[in-house]
Structure 1
């Protein structure tokens, strides 16, 4: 089941209990020149052993399986293979599980009925260490985070974070689910300028990625207009 790794190809492991879905996903991935599926399994019980044997670049992991949630294995996976990026396969209606996935260390969550191009984008995004959130789920993620309760929502607290008004506008748009290109179109600035602003925002707020930014924004009242 474990194949030899050609140079420069991303090594993937798939764990999903639905045979047709798993085999179809494997077929799609193996059509890509830069991807190699080194193993697949149907049971949550096999996750840790497979990762230990293969040390994949990406683990595609189903949440709900008969033997239990695949998320239960994520901490062990990251201990034995710190370089492995976990990309969770999910349905749109599992908001609490999405939050749990990120808290446990998953780098991305993607809906199972996503287009092939979206899947490839997600895989390559998490491989670079960035976080991937399916665009259809961003609003639900914000809603779930809002239940954590706001902290420090006064204007004075918002000013203390050192963000400019333009940076706060960008934070609000990102938290609403917009991609960089969409943010640029909304504010009539280039996508490159948006990226530069986000880099500055990450540094000022001490967050590493977009998910961390959304969480910070919800907790500190940055999702509302000043």
Structure 2
């Protein structure tokens, strides 16, 4: 979905709504965010993107006030897309919209230029408040408004140092989700349906997983995941 006209043109026409681009590889997530914001006259969805490259194009072309950006995106990861956007359009306020994120990823995102982090299971409660917070010049971290980024980053770094994260062999949160499905015996079709992605995307995830873990079959992957505690097994 794409509108013609840039931010400056909209402002000159008296449109004071907050212009938003939603970048997420899940159509269901994009639909949910769009449906929620359409009921708030303060916001206007002006563009959507299903991968990192599209996120860059949509943001640079449409110049929204806010970009909602998933960390795990096809073609180009969210953080890499954010780097490219911040280099060319630093005015846009970027909020990371994600299912799960590590402390280290939060730190990296904020250092690149993100203004907020909103978990997808908190969208209904936090999203509009988070967007207003970042547009007013503050940050949104851990479900609350943050005014001092330096203090917040120091706290996050102390937390990361005090709680070493489990070894994941470079697997992204989405790839770990796929691994869990494989251990549970899911087919590619099952995985695609569960995460609302195509089977081609599932195959691409599996190829990346095989490369990172050094296995070559689904059975080897399942055994590797169990042996290295990549999945939580039901008692």
Whether TM-score is above 0.5 comes out as: yes
Asked if 1 retains the 8 angstrom alpha-carbon contact of 2:24 and 2:49, the reply is: yes
2:32 to 17, 21, 24: 24
Cα distance, 1:33 vs. partner? 0.5
Task: Output the CA distance in 2 between the equivalents of 1:130 and 1:217.
Answer: 17
User: How is 1:34-45 mapped onto 2 (pairs within 5 angstroms)?
Assistant: 34-45=42-53
Partner in structure 2 of residue 78 of structure 1: 86
Partner in structure 2 of residue 209 of structure 1: 147
2:23 to 15, 18, 27: 15
Partner in structure 1 of residue 3 of structure 2: 3
> Partner of 1:65: helix, strand, or coil?
coil
Q: Cα–Cα, structure 1 residues 212 and 66, in superposed 2: closer, same or farther, change >3 Å?
A: same
Cα distance, 1:91 vs. partner? 2.8
The number of residues matched between the two structures is: 150
Cα distance, 1:115 vs. partner? 4.5
C-alpha distance after superposition, 1:38-71 (max 9, x if no partner)? 0001111112111111000000000012324211
User: How is 1:99-178 mapped onto 2 (pairs within 5 angstroms)?
Assistant: 99-135=107-143
Cα distance, 1:95 vs. partner? 2.0
Asked if 1 retains the 8 angstrom alpha-carbon contact of 2:52 and 2:75, the reply is: yes
Task: Output the CA distance in 1 between the equivalents of 2:97 and 2:157.
Answer: 27
Task: Output the CA distance in 2 between the equivalents of 1:82 and 1:117.
Answer: 27
Question: TM-score, normalized by length of structure 2?
Answer: 0.58
Q: Cα–Cα, structure 1 residues 214 and 113, in superposed 2: closer, same or farther, change >3 Å?
A: same
Partner in structure 2 of residue 202 of structure 1: none
Task: Output the CA distance in 2 between the equivalents of 1:115 and 1:24.
Answer: 9
- Provide structure 1 residue ranges, at least 5 long, that are not aligned to the other structure: 136-178, 181-207, 221-226
Greater displacement, 11-20 / 116-125: 116-125
Question: TM-score, normalized by length of structure 1?
Answer: 0.60
C-alpha distance after superposition, 1:139-188 (max 9, x if no partner)? xxxxxxxxxxxxxxxxxxxxxxxxxxxxxxxxxxxxxxxx69xxxxxxxx
Q: CA RMSD in A?
A: 2.4
Partner in structure 2 of residue 142 of structure 1: none
Cα distance, 1:82 vs. partner? 2.1
Greater displacement, 120-129 / 66-75: 66-75
Cα distance, 1:127 vs. partner? 1.0
